[in-house]
Structure 1
């Protein structure tokens, strides 16, 4: 396999740094979903932890490094999950954490960031404006700027999911990964292509936020002017070139799914798996719904990556029309 920025030995070592509460998450076959999807389905559940997403795997590495050698302060831009995770990992180590987010981000995520003791600054714009503001704060204050997917710790932390999946291969043949900035896709993809190369790595993104998927298909950075999706956790407009380079090495395919399929996926996970998930976590199920013939007679794993959702919006989405 051509090289990526990631290193398998470092990823193995990361398991000794990450709080065990984020590790060895449940992986189980969910037979109740299978009649509705037409294939064997296993769920990798990344929500049963204090921040209810996979992001803690990466922020544990960042915070541990800062506690040992760096400035004991950091700032990140976040649509919610990274900010919660960094706040949790930073609080545990006595770090000063600041988070910049859009004023339009999910209120439940913003409330949790505050509750975890981080300083929260809101901007009147989308995530790209929040990224610019976080960068300015880091330069002004001389603190660590944590950039999801660009910072290798965020990718290699997420890659520990891949180690756990590789231990279960070859019981499955496809893994479906929500694609936003790319930390989880490149991390998990790197490990599987190294340790279980026969597993197909399929990335899934909403049609209303297609920048990274378009970039993968065109093999160059493609930006978009706007986003229009309920899946806020993957709603970026400007892919990071270094992350795209890694994704081109490890992903076998990248697909786009419609909003209706995302909602249908959330409803299936609720009704037949007993899981309350945010829209980004239903992308894998949405991909199967839209590509039944492709996945028929296969065994797919979908990574349920987050469950931080606005309760009122969630009930509107999953309630029958």
Structure 2
């Protein structure tokens, strides 16, 4: 590590940003955003609008018949890619006993781990961006017109058309799965550039779907740079840029309004007296940023969005806390970026999301890898739900809120409103993990409890 970072010594950094001392020593840390603005002010800063989210939702609806034909397993949802919302009271009780404080309010799990097609939150943004690109190409070529039945995009003629084009992406695993599977299903020539921390089963599944997989003995940033370079060399190639894509972001944002519908189904009210807390595992920032944006457009100041990151890779935390966003990475501060939460192993945060969401994310916390395994084992034992380690990051969030007295006072969250609060841990992936690997995760967690 260099003696200076952005022209400042480590001691100067710690003096200006005291929380950095715990971050760089990989300790579990919590910080509530001092630059937080009202939802109305923060949304205006993003550069996208509710109308943009409406457009994304409408596009997914247009594609639903095609998706249903391509993936018969989601016929029961009429081609809408969505996940269950489930209450987990036994998990809440177990964690309350572990952390020494029972949780006022209700704890729920949003199971994006069970999203169709690719089994993770990336099925939202990743699949959406592929669909939008396919639509753009077909319309430009005069092969698709307003009002058409989108199932025509799966005909042999259209597959031959899409086969002229390439789609490339860099990924730690889950985004690559969603991009690769959907691209291949439409006929695109798909390439996924995967970092060293990507799981072997994800590479195998992509190859089984006819996707080109390139492996690197480096981290996520190198995989992304390689994917971008491949696309730049070919006029018919399209690069899905997880670090900067507003299209991915909008695909994730649709989740906000859908969650509102699910909460209504269970008669869960969200208002100033019944606050909503949503805890989102965060890697480069695209998926939690998009979901948080969508939630803020629906619930305004009544929803509190908290990002969760591994102690070994708090990149979005670091970028937002210092205000430098993608100008710094965790390695600059001696943090190793080596974590069992492979989907969150992104050492440098998204330039677009960090700046767009810096006034809307309520807070950040980090969690140790061993605690991820403990939570995962607890969820398996208490609720019969299996997720991958990175997806467990959000469950500790409610207890970080309970410990954040200053934040709760600032946000007027008294004991009465907290007793009526709804807490949602967003479980970002896991259903496609091979059984033997999942059993290993659970076994490790149980041994640590």
Q: State the TM-score, normalizing by the size of structure 1.
A: 0.92
Residue 43 of structure 1: aligned partner: 109
**Structure 2 contact 253–295 (Cα < 8 Å) conserved:** no
Asked if 2 retains the 8 angstrom alpha-carbon contact of 1:261 and 1:290, the reply is no
CA contact under 8 A between 2:169 and 2:227: conserved in structure 1?
yes
Q: Please tell me whether Structure 1 or Structure 2 has the larger radius of gyration of its CA atoms.
A: 2
1:316 correspondence with 2:440: yes
Give the equivalent residue in structure 2 for 1:192: 295
1:173 corresponds to: 276
Q: Secondary structure at the match of 1:124?
A: coil
Q: State yes or no: 1:211 paired with 2:315.
A: yes
Could you report, residue by residue, the CA deviation over 1:254-279 in whole angstroms, capped at 9, with x for unpaired residues? 11111122111111221112121111
- State the shift of 1:12 in Å: 2.3
Q: Deviations over 1:49-90 (max 9, x none)?
A: 121012122223322232233473210001111111012221
Q: Which residue of 2 aligns with 1:68?
A: 135
Specify every segment of 5 or more residues in structure 2 that has no aligned partner in the other structure, as ranges.
Answer: 1-40, 65-77, 96-101, 138-163, 264-268, 409-417
Q: Deviations over 1:192-238 (max 9, x none)?
A: 22221211111110111011111122222231223121001011111
CA contact 2:373–2:441 (8 Å) conserved in 1: yes
Kindly state the Cα deviation for residue 316 of structure 1 after the two structures are TM-superposed: 3.4
Q: How does 1:236-247 map to 2 (within 5 A)?
A: 236-247=346-357
Equivalenced residues, count: 321
| Unaligned stretches of 5+ residues in structure 1 | none
Which of 3, 10, 32 is equivalent to 2:52?
A: 10
Distance in 1 between residues matched to 2:319 and 2:199, nearest whole Å: 27
Pick the aligned partner of 2:176 from 79, 83, 86. 83
Secondary structure of the residue aligned to 1:200 is strand
Whether the 8 Å contact between 1:14 and 1:156 is mirrored in structure 2 is yes
Cα distance change of structure 1 residues 138 and 29 upon mapping to structure 2, 3 Å threshold = same
User: 1:46 deviation in Å?
Assistant: 1.0
Alpha-carbon distance between aligned partners in 1 of 2:345 and 2:196, rounded to the nearest angstrom: 15
Q: Note closer, same or farther for the CA distance 1:281–1:21 as it changes in structure 2 (3 Å cut).
A: farther
Aligned counterparts of 2:91 and 2:260: Cα–Cα separation in 1: 23
Aligned to 2:426: 303
Deviations 1:89-119 (A, max 9, x none): 2123221111111244201111111122211
**Root mean square deviation, CA, Å:** 2.2
Query: What is the deviation of 1:290?
Result: 5.8
SS of alignment partner, residue 113 of structure 2: coil
What's the TM-score, normalizing by structure 2?
A: 0.67
User: Is 1:134 matched up with 2:227?
Assistant: yes
